[in-house]
Amino acid sequence: MIGSNSAFNATSGTTTQCVCAGNAQECIALLVPLVRGSFHALDGLMAACRSDTGTWSGRAAELFHERLQAMEPRASACMQTLQMLDGLLSAM
């Protein structure tokens, strides 16, 4: 549980920094490692729970990983929008 609170705090802090930065390029630089790190952490969790797929913890890891994968296209679209915004701001 401590790990998940730490992850939440890191996510919340990164989001706050992103909003306060007011710079799309800096925002992208902050969010990309967070998203990639989430995938790596979940891949590790899946590997650890693979032998546990019959239990609630193994199934919870699978469901969470599936949900994150379902969110990936929206995250990619968001990143593209931020990159476009950065291009527009740079051109001004």
Each residue's pLDDT tens digit, 31-83: 777 767 777 776 776 676 666 656 766 777 777 777 777 777 776 777 677 77
- Per-residue confidence (pLDDT) for residue 40, from 0 to 100: 72
Count CB-CB contacts under 10 A for residue 86.
16
Q: Which amino acid is at 81?
A: T
- DSSP label at residue 53: T
Write out the residue range of the structural domain in which residue 24 sits: 2-91
pTM, to two decimals: 0.33
Residue 15 exposed, middle or buried by CB count within 10 Å (0-12, 13-18, 19+): middle
Give the number of domains in the chain.
Answer: 1
Distance (Å, rounded) from C-alpha 79 to C-alpha 3? 26
